[in-house]
Amino acid sequence: MPTCQNCHHKWSWKQTFKRSFAFAFSDGMTCPYCEEKQYMTSRARKISTAIPFFVPLIMLGNLIFDPSYFFLIMLISLIPIIFGLYPFIIKLSNKEEPLW
């Protein structure tokens, strides 16, 4: 789970999941404890941008190989696993780091 770099409080899964959608619309997230702005580290941002590419790869695998229920079940089961593990991927920083 991410830890605020300002007040060193560890965020809960629910707080992290809820605030992670703020990254799509703003440049950072505010800490629920100290209200300071926190930013995702560049490594965490790279990982989080790579995650959406797995679904098309699985769909492509279904087209290349014989279409089967295995790929459909894999796709359906992978989505909740990704959402469940996503807050564990996030690491925070006090300042915005360049992506590259």
Predicted confidence at residue 10, as pLDDT, reads 93
Write the burial class of residue 16 (CB in 10 Å: 0-12 exposed, 13-18 middle, 19+ buried): buried
Neighbours of 45 (CB within 10 A): 19
Question: Which stretches of the chain score pLDDT less than 70?
Answer: 22-26, 99-100
Predicted confidence at residue 59, as pLDDT, reads 76
Predicted confidence at residue 25, as pLDDT, reads 46
Predicted confidence at residue 15, as pLDDT, reads 86
pTM greater than 0.85 (yes/no): no
